[in-house]
Amino acid sequence: MDELEILKNHWKKEQYPYPKLTYAELYQMILRKSSSIVKWIFIISLLEFGFWIGISFFMKDSTFHDNMKDVNLESVLVPISIISYIVLFYFFYLFYKNYKTISATDNAKTLMENIIKTRKTVKYYVIFNLVTIIIGVIFGTYYVLNNVPMVVEKLELASANNQEFKVYASFILGVVLVLIIVIVLLILFYWLIYGLLLRRLKINYKELMKLDSN
């Protein structure tokens, strides 16, 4: 006889492994807070949005911003800030819309796909921010090297001493190094948080896809 058939014959007759829960115990249970991965994704995503908004506020108050003002770059910064807020609202709207579609009553595949989709919205927002930072740094560096009087002076002095290349290289290298450190730290952080949180979901989704592919 098939092994599973043996179990099936007994399945219905099985009693609770633990004491049957009473009405009062079950009532208490529904008042407790969920600790599902969806809840965690929601909290972490909100923190991420908060983090990037915080960064933009920090930049606004920083000396960097004042320097930009000094070199008349505010006309560029204002439209950039407006665009970044529009992008933020767009991503947040997408995130919330996707989050709302997550339902435990969907079939397993749809549920997993909706969770992954919600998560991806925030991921794309983070990628957008990183790309913006990289582009900003490239343009910023170019501008600083050519327009900031103190830097231009140093470069002219270096040029007179035939050390122009050295100064350029060390400046660019420094900027690149800081960028790399920031990006690596962020990737590590993401890998740790989402790697742990979504590992099981990803394994099961892959398994489900495999199941449905042949």
Q: Which residues bind other proteins (CB under 8 A)?
A: 2-4, 6-8, 10-11, 13-18, 20-23, 26-27, 29-30, 32-38, 40, 103-112, 115, 197, 200-201, 203-204, 207-208, 211-212
Closest separation between CB of residue 87 and other proteins, Å? 30
Q: Which is nearer to other proteins, 21 or 135 (CB)?
A: 21
Task: Return the sign of the alpha-carbon dihedral for residues 128, 67, 177, 157.
Answer: positive
3-state secondary structure of 102: coil
Q: Which is nearer to other proteins, 131 or 209 (CB)?
A: 209
Closest separation between CB of residue 19 and other proteins, Å? 10
Closest separation between CB of residue 189 and other proteins, Å? 19
Question: For 62, which DSSP code?
Answer: S
Helix H or strand E segment including 69? helix 63-70
Question: Contact at 8 Å (CB) between 48 and 126?
Answer: yes
Q: Which is nearer to other proteins, 28 or 81 (CB)?
A: 28
Q: Which is nearer to other proteins, 63 or 105 (CB)?
A: 105
Q: Which is nearer to other proteins, 115 or 155 (CB)?
A: 115
Cα–Cα distance, 168 to 74 (Å, whole number): 26
Closest separation between CB of residue 98 and other proteins, Å? 15
Closest separation between CB of residue 180 and other proteins, Å? 33
In whole angstroms, what separates CA 122 from the centre of its chain? 5
- Which amino acid is it at 129? N
Structure tokens at 13: 């007759």
- List phi, psi (to 5°) of 109: -65, -45
Quick one: how many helices (H) and strands (E) in the chain? 8, 0
